[in-house]
Structures are given as C-alpha cells and as structure tokens.
Structure 1
Amino acid sequence: MRENRLRTLFADKKLALNGWVSMGNSLLAEVLSHSGYDAVTVDLQHGLFSIEAAVSILQAISTTGAVPLARCSENSLGEINKLLDAGAYGIICPLVNTREDAEQFVRACHYSPRGGRSYGPARGVLYGGADYFTHANRTVLTLAMIETKLGLANAEAIMSVPDLDGIFIGPADLAIDMGLAPDNWKDKQVTDAIQSLVALGAQLGKYIGIFAGTVEMAQRMKEYGLDMVAPGTDIQLLRAEAQARIAALR
C-alpha cells in the first residue's frame, strides 16, 4: 500500500504543512497541492460543496505528492466510509467532545476487528494499492478535533482511545466556547490550552495538528511543537495575496 507520508514525518519529528480546500474547485485544489504542502484537506464541514464534489477534489490532490485528507461534516460512519472509499488517507473529525465520541469515530475508520468500517474502497484501492485492505487500518490517519471546553476537559480520555492517532485543534471554536472572539488565539486561555494539548500529545505519543489562519499564528504553532499546521484555507490565501498585490499597486 502507498505510504502515508504524514506518519513518516511524525516518526522523524518533522513538521507537516497542511493545505485546506474549502471552495470546492478541483483545479484550485490541484494547484494548491502542487505548491509544496505535505498534505491537503478537503473540508466538508465548512466547505461549500457536497461529498460528490469531494471525490473529484481528492482525485486532483492525488495527482501530486500531497497526502489527501478530508474533514468530515460530522461523526458519521456513512460519510466517513465514503470519504475513505474515495481515497482519503486520513480523516479529521469535528466536535469530538468525549471518549465515546472518539471511539465512535475510530470505529468508523477501521475494518474489523479494530472497527466497523464496511468494505468497498473503490477508489481507495486505485490510490492506495491492491493490498489496501491488508494495510489500511495501519495507514489511514485518524485525528479527532478538540474545539470545545468539554473536549479540552476530556482530552486525556479522548487521546487514550486505542487506534486514535491524535487530535486536530480547532482554535476558533475553542476561543468562542471560552467567550472570546474566534480570532483571539493570543489570549492566554487559548495559548495555555494549545500548549497543554501539545504536552499531553507528547506524553501519550499522539499526533497533534492545528488550524492557523495567519502566518504569524502558524509560526507560533511551529514554535509550540505542533506536528501539523494548516496555515489558512484556499479562500484566505487567495484573499491575502490579492490584497497584498492591490496594496502594492495602489
């Protein structure tokens, strides 16, 4: 089966940079994937497109060296199975608040006896290889999102779930749940939470990723020791570069 390079980078203690597709355009996803990211995530939670569109986006990412990931819209076995069958090499699951949520998520991502995933990886076999079934459970990456105060309080229980590879921090929703503005990542409540999750991940040997909406934030997260950083969505990158060029020419 094709290597999941994110696991190799994690083993080598190297930061992974993760692109983020929210516009639903396969050409844009292909361009983004050719830009040097280690992985690119197809976002079905906030992306304005359906799972049908996600298939062509995963195909576009797969023409490059970036690892194709997907964020499911919810903790649903049906949707997670479809995304994995379509060739996603990892799933980021939103709003995992309890150990039970994490167990449900992990079960959806793995074949028996480690889980309850149904067999039918039509495109997964094309991308992963003929021996997909043999190695899928050890290759697909499972990241549960911690983005609420409840999830933060239950972080150790969540990260202790067998076969959960790690977590992906949602700092905007975490800030909102703390009574802050979504972009207030510098508040001590948020930075303390992030650093505590990084420390816990190191203690438990778990993968820790985060979304960072700005370069400044991404650089700080790199300093904190995150394993994966997503430095903005396709929309944010397009807007920022357009504004920078316009400002330079005005």
Structure 2
Amino acid sequence: MANKVKEIWAAGKVVVNAWLAIPSGFSAEVIAQCGFDSVTVDMQHGVQDYQSMVQCFQAMHGHPVTPMVRVPWNEPGIIGKVLDGGAYGVICPMINTPQEAKNLVSYSKYPPMGVRSNGPIRAGLYGTAGSYQKTANQDTVLLPMMETKTAIENMEAILDVEGIDGVYIGPSDLGFSYGLVPKLDREEPEILKIYEKIVKECGKRGLHPGIHCSGADGALRAINMGFKLVTLFNEVGLMATYAKMQIAQTRKDSGGKA
C-alpha cells in the first residue's frame, strides 16, 4: 500500500489527520470511513496499547487511510514494534535536541540508515527479505514532536537532522512550557511567531510541519499559516462535541419539556 500522506505532500496539498484515543477497532473502522487522509493511534495520551493499535489497524485496512501512531516515548523497542505492526508513520513526543531526533531516525530505519531490527510481522513477511524492507526507509513518515521551549531553542538543528519528514506541534505542551494555559488553538502572539518560524524553516528544507487542532476552525487557520498536516482533535472530542451540541439543541427547542 502506498503511503497516502507522502503522496498528498508530493501533490502540494495538506493532510487531514484523525486521532484515535479509544482502544476500539469499531471506532477506528467508523473514523476510517469519514474522509480522513490518515488516522493516528495515540499510544501516549490515549488509552491505547499495542494490541488495540493492531486491532485499529486491522479495522482500518481496506479503507483509503494511512495508519500512523504516536508512540509513548522515543524508545527503540516500541518504535520498531509499531512499525512492524503496520504503522506507516510515527509521531514521537518530546523531541528536544538534534541528538534525540537522530535517535528517532536510527530507531525507525533499517541499516544502513538506522538500527531497526528486521521482523515486520504485519507490515511484511516476517524475517524474510521481501519488498517491504526495500522501501520501508523511504516510505515511513517520521514526525518528531516540537512541543517545548527547549525544542524551539534547538529548532533549526532538529530540522537539519536527515531522515525526518517534518515536525508535529503539540500546542498544549508548547504553551505550557512558556508558562501559558495548556490548550490547542493558540492565539498568543509569541506562540504564533514560533509557528511562523517553524513553517518558514520547514519550507526551506522541504519538510512538512503538522499540528494538533481542536476542530475545523483551528485547522483552517493552521492551513492558512502553511502547516501541511492538521489533526482534527480526536474521536473522543468529536463525539463529545457533537453530543453536547445535539443535547443543547434538544433542550433549547423543546420548549422546556426536556
């Protein structure tokens, strides 16, 4: 299966990404049919584990979405394991230095680019030199998360690391690290200046900046700023937002009966 994320970027367009916090293949199957380009299983802050990730991937299989994962941390065991399980993209939290970005690349790539062990149990034929191993290094999307003041101070050095495809902004943690209230759609001038610089520096290097948004309004602002991947909240937030809207409308229009 071709990596749709890379195809969309090659066409000069923006990837619209979904986010799965619920450990349910059925939820994943529903989301995969909604029109997203990619679907990311969140193993950091979601209540997903490795088995539920595999179930989500199985449920999404056959739908035109690229399966990705946010891993819990920059650690070679879990990174190799999610790739073996069928992830076409890895988003990795809290990458603060160029060395940490280099480690992420090394853990994610087969030799000679990295040190990933061979055994793609779902992604390819286990333990055998097949077509998967020939293309995995170039097909896998790697997005280190830039979400702290330290990462911003090291921005250009991180973006210079060979093997990454861009960066992924965590607005909540980024604002938090600057002493601001943690939230997704940021409007503070100092944070917006950081976004502008990230987009500019990525553009210089042919990289693709991504960002987490709370919905369509935030995503559209991010797209207009130059971001190349936007995440529309997560399935929990989408479900709760729509449910609250429907409940409020029912009570409002019931004439006091509800």
Q: Is the pair's TM-score, using the shorter chain for normalization, greater than 0.5? A: yes
Tell me how far 1:201 sits from its aligned partner.
Answer: 0.4
Matches within 5 A, 1:103-118: 103-118=102-117
2:17–2:37 contact (8 Å) kept in structure 1: yes
Which amino acid letter does the alignment assign opposite residue 148 of structure 1? T
How far does the alpha carbon of each residue in 1:74-107 deviate from its partner, in whole angstroms, 9 at most, with x for none?
0010000110000000100000000000000000
Matches within 5 A, 1:142-157: 142-157=142-157
1:182: which partner in 2? 182
Given the alignment of the two structures, is residue 34 of structure 1 paired with residue 39 of structure 2, yes or no? no
1:71: which partner in 2? 70
How far does the alpha carbon of each residue in 1:149-184 deviate from its partner, in whole angstroms, 9 at most, with x for none?
100111111111111111001111000001111126
Tell me how far 1:215 sits from its aligned partner.
Answer: 2.4
Which amino acid letter does the alignment assign opposite residue 27 of structure 2? L
Please tell me the root mean square deviation across aligned C-alpha atoms, in Å. 1.3
Matches within 5 A, 1:75-86: 75-86=74-85
Number of equivalences: 247
Output the CA distance in 2 between the equivalents of 1:151 and 1:232: 23
Unmatched runs of 5 consecutive residues or more in structure 2: 252-258
Tell me how far 1:122 sits from its aligned partner.
Answer: 1.0
Tell me how far 1:61 sits from its aligned partner.
Answer: 2.0
3-state DSSP class of the match of 1:8?
helix
2:166: which partner in 1? 166
3-state DSSP class of the match of 2:240?
helix
Output the CA distance in 2 between the equivalents of 1:180 and 1:188: 12
Output the CA distance in 2 between the equivalents of 1:230 and 1:207: 14
TM-score (norm 1): 0.96
Tell me how far 1:33 sits from its aligned partner.
Answer: 0.9
2:80–2:107 contact (8 Å) kept in structure 1: yes
TM-score (norm 2): 0.93
2:169–2:212 contact (8 Å) kept in structure 1: yes
Which amino acid letter does the alignment assign opposite residue 20 of structure 2? V
Output the CA distance in 2 between the equivalents of 1:25 and 1:63: 17
Tell me how far 1:49 sits from its aligned partner.
Answer: 2.5
Output the CA distance in 2 between the equivalents of 1:61 and 1:207: 24
Output the CA distance in 2 between the equivalents of 1:138 and 1:97: 24
Unmatched runs of 5 consecutive residues or more in structure 1: none
2:41–2:48 contact (8 Å) kept in structure 1: no
Output the CA distance in 1 between the equivalents of 2:62 and 2:19: 16
Tell me how far 1:12 sits from its aligned partner.
Answer: 1.1
3-state DSSP class of the match of 2:124?
helix
3-state DSSP class of the match of 2:72?
coil
Matches within 5 A, 1:202-241: 202-241=203-242
1:30–1:63 contact (8 Å) kept in structure 2: no
How far does the alpha carbon of each residue in 1:220-243 deviate from its partner, in whole angstroms, 9 at most, with x for none?
101111110001101100001101
3-state DSSP class of the match of 1:73?
coil
1:165–1:207 contact (8 Å) kept in structure 2: yes
1:29–1:61 contact (8 Å) kept in structure 2: yes
Give the number of the structure whose alpha-carbon radius of gyration is greater.
2
Using the aligned pairs only, state the percent identity: 34
1:242: which partner in 2? 243
Output the CA distance in 1 between the equivalents of 2:245 and 2:96: 39
